A = this chain, B = another copy of it.
Amino acid sequence: MDRPAAPTRRITIIDVARHAQVSTTAVSKVLRNAYGVSPTMQAKVRQAISELGYRPNAAARAMRGQTYTIGIMLPDIRNPFFADILDGLTARIAGTDYQVLLGPGCNGEEAEARVIHAMIDRGMDGMVLVAPISTRAYLEQVAGVVPTVVVGRHGRSQTYDTVADDDLTGAALVVNHLADLGHRRIAHIEHHETTADCLAEMPNAIRAEGYRQAMRARGLADEIDIASTRYNQEGGYLGTRQLLARPVRPTAIFAGADIAALGALDAIAEAGLRVPDDISVAGYDNTTFAAFRPISLTSVDQAGHEIGADAARLLLDRIADRNRPTAQIKLSPALVVRRTTAPPPA
């Protein structure tokens, strides 16, 4: 299903212009069949195209139905976990003719719709939507137009493929680790959701539910305490300030994403508290930041690289055969214990 590898040096519109001794604008006009191109110019450019073996450009290919472009929508380019997904994705399509372009979704329904429309408008052959917050009905419509893989969200669809992590289990791994260390006041920082679809399907909502279930299973139902902010550095910071201001402070904070754990560590440092002596912190995603030795953050590995590679594979499959049944891949998380978690202060 892969396309043959691109030649090392691809012939471009610039080469054609140089060879025909005309401007690139002129070449572009000929390629677009624009008005105002003289027959002489037409002939010069077409001859150069033929002599150089110039391949039809994306616009021309688009008329035949393919642009060899894959659009990736990422909610936030500051979150290093999304870079892991992107690495896995680009590694998987390396050697094919596909080119990746990214659209920042910005965690907003309106911004997502703009990016998705832009990608559809520009004729992308397929899209990978990472943790989109749009309604399920909207995603189904989009996937009806362009082959789509949805990453992170749970739930089975008849029109798009999904790759997700077992977030319920991942959250339980953290709660059980902290409870085993002797913590009871284990608080959670979640990424806030409001819509029914998101509450049912978003990885962040499932992690929060996993946290609640695991707390209850450990007999800690009364200790459930959630700061509802966002999965970014500021969200972690603000959530932790809320939690540190409680009448009885938590002894451990489980941030639903490493990037939020970063903000938690920032707020804890600001409050003059020590990690893990005064308070334990765990994240989720096992990003490069978690492995950074001066921090050494306990986190949940959900194999971002593998998620990206799986998404690319499913998308190429889907582009090749739009009628095959949809696939749902669910990966198993693993806890990576590092230095930010320890028994609670005596």
Which residues on B sit within 8 Å (CB–CB) of A21? none
Would A101 and B100 count as touching, CB distance under 8 A? no
Tell which of B67, B80, B101, B114 touches A102, judged by Cβ atoms closer than 8 Å: B101
Q: For chain A residues 87-109, which have a beta carbon within 8 Å of chain B?
A: 90, 99-104
Q: Is A266 an interface residue (CB 8 A)?
A: yes
Would B114 and A6 count as touching, CB distance under 8 A? yes
Would A122 and B10 count as touching, CB distance under 8 A? no
Q: How far is the CB of A14 from chain B (nearest CB, A)?
A: 5
- How far apart sit A270 and B120, CA to CA, in the bound complex (Å)? 48
Q: Which residue of B lies closest to A141 (CB)?
A: B14
Q: For chain A residues 10-31, which have a beta carbon within 8 Å of chain B?
A: 10, 12-14, 23-25, 28
Which residues on B sit within 8 Å (CB–CB) of A110? 8-9
Would A100 and B104 count as touching, CB distance under 8 A? yes
A49-73 vs B, CB cutoff 8 Å, 1 = contact: the mask equals 0000000011100110001010100
Would B123 and A59 count as touching, CB distance under 8 A? yes
Would B77 and A83 count as touching, CB distance under 8 A? yes
Binds B, one of A184-192, A222-230, A287-295: A287-295
Would A86 and B99 count as touching, CB distance under 8 A? no
Would A114 and B141 count as touching, CB distance under 8 A? no
Q: Which residue of B lies closest to A99 (CB)?
A: B118
Which residues on B sit within 8 Å (CB–CB) of A58? 118, 121-122
Q: Is A181 an interface residue (CB 8 A)?
A: no
Q: Is A336 an interface residue (CB 8 A)?
A: no
Which of A23, A25, A82, A117 has the most chain B CB within a 10 Å cutoff? A117
Q: Is A78 an interface residue (CB 8 A)?
A: yes
Would B104 and A86 count as touching, CB distance under 8 A? yes
Using A83-B77, A262-B292 as known contacts, say yes or no to A10 and B113 having CB atoms under 8 A apart.
yes
Which residues on B sit within 8 Å (CB–CB) of A115? 99
Using A67-B122, A233-B288 as known contacts, say yes or no to A99 and B114 having CB atoms under 8 A apart.
yes
Q: Is A155 an interface residue (CB 8 A)?
A: no
Tell which of B10, B69, B82, B145 touches A25, judged by Cβ atoms closer than 8 Å: B145
Q: Is A345 an interface residue (CB 8 A)?
A: no
Q: How far is the CB of A39 from chain B (nearest CB, A)?
A: 21
- How far apart sit A110 and B94, CA to CA, in the bound complex (Å)? 13
Would A77 and B86 count as touching, CB distance under 8 A? yes
Q: How far is the CB of A293 from chain B (nearest CB, A)?
A: 4
A141-173 vs B, CB cutoff 8 Å, 1 = contact: the mask equals 110110000000000000000000000000000
Would A59 and B121 count as touching, CB distance under 8 A? yes
Would A10 and B78 count as touching, CB distance under 8 A? no
Q: Is A32 an interface residue (CB 8 A)?
A: yes
Tell which of B24, B32, B269 touches A294, judged by Cβ atoms closer than 8 Å: B269
Q: Is A133 an interface residue (CB 8 A)?
A: no
A228-243 vs B, CB cutoff 8 Å, 1 = contact: the mask equals 0000010000000000
For this complex, 14 residue pairs linking A to B, each with C-beta atoms less than 8 Å apart, are A8-B110, A10-B114, A32-B63, A58-B118, A59-B123, A67-B121, A67-B122, A99-B115, A99-B118, A101-B118, A102-B102, A102-B103, A233-B288, A269-B294
